[in-house]
Chain A
Amino acid sequence: MTIAALPGTPLREPMVPFRYRVRSRRRETHDVVTLALEPLHGPPLRARPGQFNMVYAFGIGEVPVSVSGDSSVESPIVHTIRAAGLVTRALCESHPGTVLGLRGPFGTDWAMGSADGHDLLIVGGGIGVAPLRPAIYAVLARREHYGRVSVLIGARSPADLLFATELQNWRSRFDLDVRVTVDVADGRWRGPVGVVTELIPRSFFDPRSAVALVCGPEIMIRFAARSLVDQGLSPANVRVSLERNMKCGVALCGHCQLGPEFVCRDGPIFTYAQVGHLLAIREV
């Protein structure tokens, strides 16, 4: 079993949730909120960019949620959650003071260190922008270690864009190429209209060595990864974050199995070389 954890926050009891209090709640869009959580007791767990925690709404249920905050900051733990079902709706309705359970961190990370010296393409769509945000923070903290960095964001509409203020700040930097596109817009929208994959050929990168980080709904991942490979990236350099029905988080229950891979343990970050063929199989 290879569960990734930072030194100082070993997973001694991976099935036991620790109690965290909601310190703050920020509404991002009509159905997405960001919760900042701090532990009731002891040091906070620390996750690397791309890893996830199992977040428990007591008495209702538990769901996997990637961290969306700055991994270099010890506390609070930040999760951005879309209200999609019973549990996520309860989590989104949590207000400051609410106590939630947290287990983790689980899974693989974006492996930012191994992208040193390379051009980076960060491609996110919908709620998939949230697990990419820690990677963007990590890039900005060590900006000089990377080549050209493009952040490509897609959303259904301008109202569905996550982290709008931060996007604006990132766009104002000279060392980041930030492009945002939406599927549907009214006459007030000044940016491009189209799916996020259309931004890929318009970005500047060396396809022979560029590394791409891709997160979003699986259908978007498939098309984005395909587009990146069409542009000349090696499938081994395209990293995708997958979502499955994670339950235990430690590769025991099999709910999240994708062919031979356990998404909770072997993922959620995979290379497209590892899982590209599996994404094309309907039954998997």
Chain B
Amino acid sequence: MRIDTLEVLLREHPFFRGLDEPDIEFIAGCGHNVVFESGAYLFREGEEANQLFIVRRGRVALEIDVPGRGLVVIDTAGEGEVIGFSWLFPPYRYQFDARAIEPVGAVALDGVCLRGKCEEDSKLGYELMKRFASILLRRMQSARLRLIDVYRP
């Protein structure tokens, strides 16, 4: 059985692909493996946002409880995706709940550790910000498409 180190897992993950080896090693030092059973929360709305999650398997629903409507799923993240961006910007609080809707395996990265490294190493910081911005742009475009209700005839 192959047991991959965090470095290997991150190197093979689409989000980190192509980063320099020392950077991968540093980022791996900010992380640890986590598993969540179906129904468990990765984080809750209003909690301090000090982690982001690199999803390796399973699916996570980003949701919010809407009074009168119950839980509404806003977005989902599956294998190969990243969830939890609130650690990037003040006030560093999660805006939604993230719940495992299948058993989830992920790498949790310490946001404070990453922020510190990005402040010190502007080259890595810029590279990571470009990658985060790309995901945020895709999610914003997806939200816009849903806003215009693309399936309406």
Contact = CB atoms under 8 A, between A and B. Distances in A.
B70 A156 contact: no
A261 interface: no
Given A193-B61, A195-B145, A125 B73 contact: no
A84 interface: yes
A207 interface: no
A84 B153 contact: yes
B102 A190 contact: yes
Q: Contact residue range for chain B?
A: 20 to 34
B148 interface: yes
A256 interface: no
Contacts of A198: 138, 142
Interface string A62-106: 000000000000000000001010000000000000000000000
B152 A126 contact: yes
B149 A156 contact: yes
Nearest to A184: B72
Nearest to A201: B138
Contacts of A220: 150-151
Contacts of B59: 190-192
Interface of B: 59, 61, 63, 69-76, 78, 80, 99, 101-102, 138, 142, 145-146, 148-153
Interface of A: 82, 84, 125-128, 154-156, 160, 183-187, 189-198, 202, 216-217, 219-220, 223, 243
